């Protein structure tokens, strides 16, 4: 992220190119509409998208990131944890594991599985898809009510005594 140059951001086609990756392969990442808006609104100042006030490049993100984490009141969060968050949110919002693997630049599904951490509630929704054939839109977007762990649209009217066990 700190090495991202403006020349690698393609607003027209909606992609950014990640260079000098760990596995030495460039990859293209689609830009969300929100990210396009944000990048355009901050404007191009220097060579790098993320740069200091004097337009020089940040070398180590830890200090600034840790200050922001502390200000936000978040405990136990490292820069690398953001990759886990992205993988988890993509999977929980219906992204397939192969797409997540490619976006993260992983070579194997096993590595990507280490990054995605579905919640117990998400696993319940996944099992309920068997009854509905798909996950309702509200579960994809807002996960309905995370605190209660219940996706009301999917589970409304579902009572354990409604379904009788069929005899084989």
Mean pLDDT, rounded, of the chain: 78
CB 152 within 8 A of CB 127: no
Q: Which residues contact 127 (CB under 8 A, 6 or more apart)?
A: none
Question: Which residues form the domain of 131?
Answer: 120-155
Which band of pLDDT confidence, cut at 50, 70 and 90, is reported for residue 135?
A: low
**CB count, 10 Å around CB of 120?**
7
The answer as to whether 27 is a domain residue is yes
How many separate domains does the chain show? 2
Taking alpha carbons only, the member of 135, 131, 121, 138 closest to residue 159 is 131
Is the pLDDT at 158 greater than 50? The verdict is no
pLDDT for 153 equals 41
Rounded Cα gap, residues 18 and 152, in angstroms: 40
The answer as to whether 134 is a domain residue is yes
The answer as to whether 108 is a domain residue is no
Higher pLDDT, 127 or 149: 127
CB 115 within 8 A of CB 95: no
Which H or E element spans position 30? strand 27-30
Q: What angle do CA 60, 63, 69 make, to 5 degrees?
A: 125
């Amino acid at each position: 992220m700190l090495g991202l140059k403006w020349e690698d951001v393609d607003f027209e086609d909606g992609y950014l190119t990640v260079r000098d990756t760990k596995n030495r392969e460039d990859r293209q990442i689609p830009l969300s509409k929100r990210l396009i808006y944000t990048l355009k609104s901050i404007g191009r100042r220097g060579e790098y998208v993320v740069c200091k006030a004097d337009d020089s490049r940040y070398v180590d993100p830890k200090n600034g990131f840790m200050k922001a984490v502390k200000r936000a009141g978040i405990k136990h969060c490292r820069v690398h944890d953001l990759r886990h968050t992205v993988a988890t949110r993509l999977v929980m919002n219906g992204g397939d594991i192969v797409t997540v693997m490619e976006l993260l630049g992983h070579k194997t599904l096993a590595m990507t599985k280490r990054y995605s951490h579905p919640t117990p509630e998400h696993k319940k929704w996944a099992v309920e898809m068997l009854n509905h054939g798909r996950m309702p839109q509200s579960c994809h977007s807002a996960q309905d009510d995370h605190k209660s762990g219940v996706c009301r649209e999917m589970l409304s009217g579902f009572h354990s005594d409604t379904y009788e066990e069929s005899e084989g």
